A = this chain, B = another copy of it.
Amino acid sequence: MRPNKRAELIRKSLELFYRNGFHATGMDLVAAETGVSKTSIYKHFRSKEELILAVLQLRDEDFRNWLYRRLEELADTPRGQLEALFDVLEEWFGQPGFQGCMFIKASAEYQSGKDPINMQSAEHKRLLQEHFAALAAKAGAADPAALARQLMILKEGAIVLAAMSHSAAPAKDGRQAALALIKQAVR
């Protein structure tokens, strides 16, 4: 029961779930792809749901860390970081394996509001919105929370359309819209 084996399991499962979907990815496939027998997997995770939750937690940390860091690298003012959001998203959309947002897909497959998978996905979005609201406040927006909600809408919409159209173009349209909204909100 080495802890790095567990981490490896989560990392590989993330890839499989992201590419194939949750229901469509069986535990037998996870076992085959990781080279770890199902019995061993079930020593680390009591159920498939628990594995999925661990995967989502890893994804949440990785994605938010990556996004926040890229924003800081591209701009050193709060407003600049908000304006750089869709440049970072465009990078993401252009990455080879891009297949949309894992949390949108998770909540699409597990729709019950009481489902832990659904709740954890909603929490990820809440954390992002909070971050944007903090940036908007520092940038001097009249209503930072409202601007953050608008940017979230643009972000989710751009992700969905980029995934469905297999193109990074929605990032450009999202960027244009975001710049207009930011300009309007920060006077």
Contact = CB atoms under 8 A, between A and B. Distances in A.
27 contacts: A21-B108, A21-B111, A23-B24, A23-B109, A100-B111, A104-B104, A104-B108, A104-B160, A107-B163, A109-B109, A111-B163, A118-B164, A121-B164, A125-B161, A149-B170, A150-B173, A150-B176, A153-B161, A153-B177, A154-B154, A156-B157, A156-B160, A156-B161, A157-B157, A160-B160, A177-B181, A180-B184
Contacts of A184: 180
Number of copies: 2
Interface of A: 19-21, 23-24, 99-100, 104-105, 107-109, 111, 113, 118, 121-122, 125, 146, 149-150, 152-158, 160-161, 163-166, 169-170, 173-174, 176-177, 180-181, 184
